[in-house]
Structure 1
Amino acid sequence: MEATNCEVVSDSLSQTSKDNGTSSSGSSNGNEALKYQGRKTSRANSEQRRRIILEAALRIVVRDGVRGVRHRAVAREAEVPLSATTYYFKDISDLITDTFTLFVEMGAEKFKAFWEESDSKLQEALALLGGQDSASLSQEVRLVFVERMVDLAVHYIVTQLRDHRDYLIAERSFQLECLRNENLRPVAFNHQSYLLNSLESFFRRVGSEKPDIDAQLFSAVIMQVEYQCMVQPGDEPDTGLIRSRLMRQISLMLVG
């Protein structure tokens, strides 16, 4: 299982970032640019070593939590000299902040890729509206529309739980650390914005009177369902639980 952790966090997310051309200075999703705190690099081999260190720190976050990130532990995990970690990051705060920044940057591209892949299903569901908002549709059409939305949301959550469980663990570790470390809060705001902006855009398209509030409420439901499924015994997500929670929430938002 531990080897899988390393693969998911360090290989899968890392490859997503490279495939999508993610830079270390910002994001293309319309949010505030992500900024790294550690020593800036100008040479390719230096940037590669810096990246190796951050990915090692991210694996430690998944395995041991944010408090497990220490210079010696990261150097050992990354298989680099201790002097390398202290060269790029003058203190632990910078190392943790930049690890979270890398996590958000890579996760944003993964999230963007999911929505691009799901766009055809979303367009099919929106076509049911025929230019109307959901409240103006017949009960039968509204029900079909809600079912399509639930299918899409369940697919997203189950994919997260099955294929990106370590991403979710790291996400919650960083969220908890934000309560103690105010330097992480601007990064957390960026991370939250990727999901909220997409959800708000969706609720606006289906005629929600309060798309920003609906986005926040639905995001909270997703987070709670993911957490509950992660702490329950068993390896497979409880799709019945996921579907029932999302059906109730989406029905209230889109049907009233």
Structure 2
Amino acid sequence: TALVDGGLSRGARDPASRRGLPQQLAALGVRELDLAAVTHAHPDHFAGLAAAVARGLRVRELWVNRQGEAEHPASDYARFVRDLERRGTRVRRTPELCGEHRWGPATLRVLAPCGPRGYDPALDENDNSLVLRLSLGCADLLLAGDAGLAAEETLLAEDAPLEAELLKVGHHGSRSATGEAFLGRVRPLRSVVPAASHRPGLPGPPHEPVLERLRSTGSEPWWTGRDGALTVHLAPAGLRAWDALGRPQWALPARCGP
């Protein structure tokens, strides 16, 4: 079992999300994670995971970038990482983490941040997010963390493998991410925007120009603040998705070849 980011669920729209990460994992019978990846050191990406660990969740391996610990060694985030290490978790950091990792029949690739320090000190924590691409057969899922336009430009310049049927949109649909050139390389068939709906203190709602850019590529966005939680099943031949009530939403065939 793997988890990418585990934030807070204040003000979530549907009951599945309002339960919060510790309760959701317990409902699924998950008492141990083989892998947890925290894209960057913001509470909306790690605080729920920290709460679950405090309640007894075991984490065998943690993936992080180096920025949060290097620049803010006394922060809650840095203490959280150190606590996991004391509990026996194997912590792996960029840049050594960058590249391909086999995950059963799937491949999980860390695309960024992969500079010599494991992060770019000229960029903020959002733009130093881990960017991950999960592949199974010909089907691909791109997880952009909170990476913004600067991070996207680096990925494009490095000719990173970005094409994916499904895109987890960067930075909650903010205008500071999801540029046209980036979308032109990813070519998503569907996209998920994790953002709240007009709730103070929560990221969101997504900016309409971002939603319009997604639609213009043929990628109808699923906005969690409006549409609720989404379950996606990745298979070699494609992806299927269901809403929080278990109703089928879409099925995407995998794109094989150029």
**TM-score scaled by length of structure 1:** 0.26
Structure 1 or 2: larger helix share? 1
Higher Cα Rg, which structure: 1
**TM-score scaled by length of structure 2:** 0.25
Per chain length, whose mean CA-contact separation is higher, i.e. which structure has more relative contact order (CA < 8 Å, sep 6+)?
A: 1
Structure 1 or 2: larger strand share? 2
